[in-house]
Structure 1
Amino acid sequence: MATIGVTRGFGDHDLKVYNSNIYIKPFLSSVPGVEVYDLSKCEHGPDDVVVMGTDGLWDVITDNEVAEIVQRVLASHGPDEPSRYNLAAQELVLRTRGVRKESGWRLPNGKLASLDDISVFVIPLNSEQSN
């Protein structure tokens, strides 16, 4: 609706379509979904990560595709490579953005690429890597 910004989802309870009395909030929640994961209860290796991304990532790529891309990038750069998590995030952004074709930006499978902003973090869970 060209009205909703990222910050709007976090607290603008009176958000309306511009120049109208139509409320947008009924399908938008300002209450975040929160998962608590106790890192101290599990052992993690250098390839155990959390991927956090904006909807520009998740709108066009599946969880399984994200996992495959991250696994491939991490496998090609050893645990001693300090930029391996940045490289995985960069690969996810590039893959989701697609390439310019005559019919617009396209993914390798021919589907439309993301038209939204794409921000990605690949966060290591291994305490030795995350310090």
Structure 2
Amino acid sequence: MSGGRSLASVLASQEGDPLHLPWAYKTIEDDDLKFPLIYGEGKKARVMATIGVTRGLGDHDLKVHDSNIYIKPFLSSAPEVRIYDLSKYEHGADDVLILATDGLWDVLSNEEVAEAITQFLPNCDPDDPHRYTLAAQDLVMRARGVLKDRGWRISNDRLGSGDDISVYVIPLVHGNKLS
């Protein structure tokens, strides 16, 4: 947890510790929180070492493995929202926002995606209405990799994504510059 606060202190009710959740069958105690809330990294990240981070939003009855602790109180369906005012900045045809599923982000870093886009878009005709779709397809292929004798591989012989991959390349140019 950030700010030096333990998960137990964040979850503590105003009446005192430990927090008793009215819909749980068990009171959550400090010993129940012996491992990090998010355990693992990338594709292997799990909420309380039980469920994939992106898969748990609707699974109300799931319990932590070998326990009576429900996962639901540790998940939130409230998204992180950031506002970027397009009108405050001047954007060119190669300035884009990448919206993608974890199939892309699990295998490619922000820097690798940015590098791929900055290499791809300048090689396209700026008037081609399909250039952003082609850029998205390029990112999907980079994340999938190529089939080699040991499976799908991307750069530096890393494993390619085994997950579904959806990518949107959204131009930031506003007004009538794009049709």
Deviations 1:18-66 (A, max 9, x none): xx85533455431111101111111111111000111110111011110
Taking structure 1 as reference, are residues 59 and 51 closer, same or farther at Cα in structure 2, changes over 3 Å only?
Answer: same
The 1-side partners of 2:145 and 2:163 are apart by 12
Aligned counterparts of 1:13 and 1:84: Cα–Cα separation in 2: 39
In the aligned structure 2, how far is the partner of 1:38 from the partner of 1:82? 24
Distance 1:41 1:15 in 2: 45
CA change 1:97–1:36 in 2 (3 A) is: same
**Kept in 2: contact 1:52–1:122 (CA 8 A):** yes
Report which of the two structures shows the higher radius of gyration computed on alpha carbons. 2
Secondary structure at the residue paired with 1:82?
Answer: coil
Give the equivalent residue in structure 1 for 2:149.
102
Matched, 1:120 2:167: yes
Where does residue 64 of structure 1 map in the other structure? 111
TM-score, normalised to structure 1's length?
Answer: 0.82
C-alpha displacement at 1:72, in angstroms?
1.2
Indicate conservation of the 8 Å contact 1:8/1:15, yes or no. Answer: no
Q: Which runs of 5+ in 2 are unaligned?
A: 1-45
Question: Is 2:106 the counterpart of 1:91?
Answer: no
CA 1:7–1:111 in 2, change beyond 3 Å: closer, same or farther?
closer
Flag structure 1 segments of 5+ consecutive residues without an equivalent.
none
SS in 1 for 2:135: helix
**CA distance 1:87–1:34, change in 2 (3 Å):** same
How many residue pairs get aligned? The number is 129
Matched residue type, 1:76: N
Asked if residue 81 in structure 1 is aligned to residue 128 in structure 2, the reply is yes
Letter aligned with residue 63 of structure 1: N
The whole-number CA distance in structure 1 between the counterparts of 2:71 and 2:178 is 39
Measure the CA separation in 2 of the matches of 1:100 and 1:75: 28
Question: Secondary structure of 2:157's match?
Answer: coil
Q: Structure with the greater relative contact order (CA < 8 A, sep ≥ 6): 1 or 2? A: 1
What TM-score does the superposition give when structure 2 sets the normalisation length? 0.62
Rate the CA distance shift 1:110–1:129 in 2: closer, same or farther, 3 A: farther
- Across the aligned residues of Structure 1 and Structure 2, the Cα RMSD in angstroms comes to 2.8
Percent identical residues: 52
Q: Assess if the C-alpha contact under 8 Å between 1:46 and 1:124 holds in 2.
A: yes
Distance 1:129 1:56 in 2: 31
